[in-house]
Amino acid sequence: MREKTLLILSGGMDSSTLLYHLLDMGHKVEALSFDYLQRHRRELDSAKRICELTNVPHEILQIPALTGSALTFDKDVPHGHYEEESMKDTVVPNRNMVMLAHAASTAIARGHDNVAYGCHHGDHAIYPDCRAEFVAAMSQAFALCDWKEIKLLTPFLTWDKGAIARRGAELEVPFELTWTCYEGGEEPCGKCGACVERAEAMATINAA
């Protein structure tokens, strides 16, 4: 029997590649996106288009606005490379725990086996809720939060973004439909940490 997996889908290249990766592995996938009044809500349109293209059921859940980050209009979006200290301004406090809690409730109610999200090795230095320790703690919580154990899948946890880009190219993920930029304009700014990291990752496809 195919495993049923609820994917947290932002509409960016990581979670979109994870969608294709799960489908390639034979999972029956549903996707859940979150509207938390983020600056870059343009990503939700990308998530919708990706799901339409793959015939994956998709829901956008509006949750109370999160605060304290450049992604939620509380600070300016820093420009430059992810390794710069200023990039910590893009941390949305406890965002992944909030999203994972909602996703777990939804998955349990619908009889899913797993919840998946696309955290990766390149996120660890900036985002505390992408660390292996966080994933381990949430996995334990998932095992205990209901009488039916549900698993947390993070297959990209030890991958860098270049590896994700190359896997996406292998799976023919339509990267042109995905959205990465934190500024949230009509076109990517090309200057924020997300844009810079994406360009570096995409460059590895041709270099491979």
Could you read off the pLDDT of 125-147 as tens digits, one per residue?
Answer: 678 888 999 999 999 999 999 99
What pLDDT is recorded for position 124? Answer: 59
Tokens of 165: 């880009």
pLDDT for res 92: 86
Q: Could you give the CA distance from residue 88 to residue 157 in angstroms, rounded to a whole number?
A: 19
Say how far apart CA 18 and CA 150 lie, in whole Å.
18
Report how far residue 161's alpha carbon sits from residue 180's, in angstroms, rounded to the nearest whole number: 12
Which residues are CB-neighbours of 58 under 8 A, at least 6 positions away?
Answer: 9, 30, 31, 32, 33, 47, 48, 51, 52
Q: How many domains does the chain have?
A: 1
* CATH number, domain containing residue 197: 3.40.50.620
Q: What is the residue range of 194's domain?
A: 4-207
Give the pLDDT confidence score for residue 48 in this predicted structure. 98
**Structural contact between residues 28 and 5, judged by C-beta atoms closer than 8 angstroms:** yes
Residues 12 and 178 sit within 8 Å (Cβ to Cβ): yes
pLDDT at 73: 83
Q: Indicate the DSSP class of residue 2.
A: P
Positions of the chain with pLDDT lower than 50, given as ranges: none
Break the chain down into helix, strand, coil percent, rounded to 5: 45, 10, 40
